[in-house]
Amino acid sequence: MPKPNSWQWVLWRENFLWPWRPAIARSRMHRMGVGLILLLLLLLIGMFVFWFIGGPRIVLEEVLATRLQAPVHLQANPRFYWGKQQLQVTLQGLRIGTQAQPRLQLRRLMLSLLWRPLLTGHVKIQQIFLDQPSVYGPWPASPGSAASSTNINVSLPGDIQIRDGSLRWSGLAGHVLQLSDVQASFPRSGAGAATGRWSWNQHAGQGRLQMDIHSTSGLSLRNLQLLIGTRQVPDALSLQMPRLEIQDKTLQIPALQVRWQDNHERRMELSLQDLQAQPGLQKIALRSATLQAGSDFHMQIDHARFSWVQWTGQAGYVVSAEHLPELAKKWGFSWPKLTNPKVPRYFKMSGKLVWKNPRFDWSIRQGLVDSSPWSGNITGTWQPLKIHLALQIQRLNLGAYLPSPKAGPGAVLPKLPATWPITGSLQIGQLIWGKIRAEDVLIRSRKP
pLDDT in tens, 117-161: 877 877 788 899 999 999 998 887 655 444 444 445 566 778 999
Q: How far apart are the first and last CA of the chain?
A: 127
User: Does the CA dihedral 167-168-169-172 come out positive or negative?
Assistant: positive
Look up the pTM and report it: 0.78
Question: What is the distance between the alpha carbons of residues 448 and 446, in angstroms, rounded to a whole number?
Answer: 6
- DSSP classification of residue 266: -
Number of H helices, E strands in the chain: 6, 23
| pLDDT attached to residue 137 | 87
Cis peptide before 143 (omega within 30 of 0): no
Chain Cα centroid distance, residue 417? 42
Q: Is 89 exposed, middle or buried (0-12, 13-18, 19+ CB in 10 A)?
A: middle
Question: What is the distance between the alpha carbons of residues 226 and 256, in angstroms, rounded to a whole number?
Answer: 11
Amino acid at 156: L
Cis peptide before 358 (omega within 30 of 0): yes
| pLDDT attached to residue 145 | 46
- DSSP classification of residue 420: -
Cβ neighbours of 253 (radius 10 Å): 20
Please say whether the beta carbons of 374 and 394 come within 8 A: yes
Collapse the DSSP code of 274 into the 3-class scheme (helix H, G, I; strand E, B; otherwise coil) and give the result: strand
What does the pLDDT profile of the chain (448 residues) look like in tens digits?
Answer: 555 555 454 444 555 444 545 555 555 555 565 556 666 666 666 555 555 556 678 778 888 888 888 899 998 888 888 888 888 989 999 999 998 889 999 999 999 988 888 778 777 888 999 999 999 988 876 554 444 444 455 667 789 999 999 999 998 888 899 999 999 999 988 999 999 999 998 889 999 999 999 877 778 899 999 999 998 899 999 999 999 998 778 899 999 999 999 887 899 999 999 999 987 778 999 999 999 998 999 999 999 999 988 889 999 999 999 999 999 998 888 888 888 888 899 999 999 999 998 899 999 999 999 989 999 999 999 888 899 999 999 999 888 888 877 765 555 555 667 778 889 999 999 988 888 888 998 988 876 5
Q: For 319-411, where are the alpha helices, taking DSSP H only?
A: 324-330
